């Protein structure tokens, strides 16, 4: 029972850290409110029903990528290849005209991907 309290405490700290990082990325409150496609960015959800996160976590992606037969996506960030699970790949229309990758880069801890929206060229 004592061990479960440690896991709960660690989970709480990680969740608090993630929340604070999400808020910290928006330098000026409301800075994205009037951005083009703001509502689209903020309303996207992956196939598991989780939010793709904030527009501040959305990165325009102009590199090459491949959609695999299982629906997952393979892309590169610099020289590092990433496989994005199929449930994180969005199916609906993307009004931006280019691919969008929702992620947070934690440096040495790696990249956490929330969603990927293929662009018009797919």
The pTM for the full model equals 0.69
Q: How far apart are CA 93 and CA 76, in angstroms?
A: 23
Q: Identify the pLDDT of residue 35.
A: 62
Chain centroid to CA 24: how far?
16
Q: Identify the pLDDT of residue 82.
A: 92
Burial class (CB in 10 A: 0-12, 13-18, 19+), 53: buried
Q: Identify the pLDDT of residue 25.
A: 47
Nearest to 94 by CA among 118, 73, 74: 118
Q: Identify the pLDDT of residue 49.
A: 95
pLDDT in tens, the chain (122 residues): 455 555 455 555 444 444 444 444 444 444 455 567 778 988 999 999 999 987 888 999 999 999 999 999 999 888 889 999 999 999 989 999 899 999 998 888 888 999 999 987 54
């Amino acid at each position: 029972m004592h061990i479960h309290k440690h896991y709960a405490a660690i989970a709480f700290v990680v969740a608090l850290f993630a929340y604070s990082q999400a808020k910290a990325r928006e330098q000026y409150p409301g800075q994205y409110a009037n951005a083009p496609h703001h509502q689209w960015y903020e309303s996207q959800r992956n196939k598991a029903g989780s939010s793709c996160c904030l527009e501040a976590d959305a990165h325009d992606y102009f590199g090459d990528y491949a959609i695999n037969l299982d629906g997952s996506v393979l892309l590169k960030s610099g020289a590092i290849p990433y496989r994005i699970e199929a449930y994180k790949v969005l199916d609906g229309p993307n009004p931006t005209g280019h691919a969008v990758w929702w992620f947070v880069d934690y440096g040495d801890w790696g990249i956490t991907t929330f969603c990927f929206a293929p662009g018009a060229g797919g």
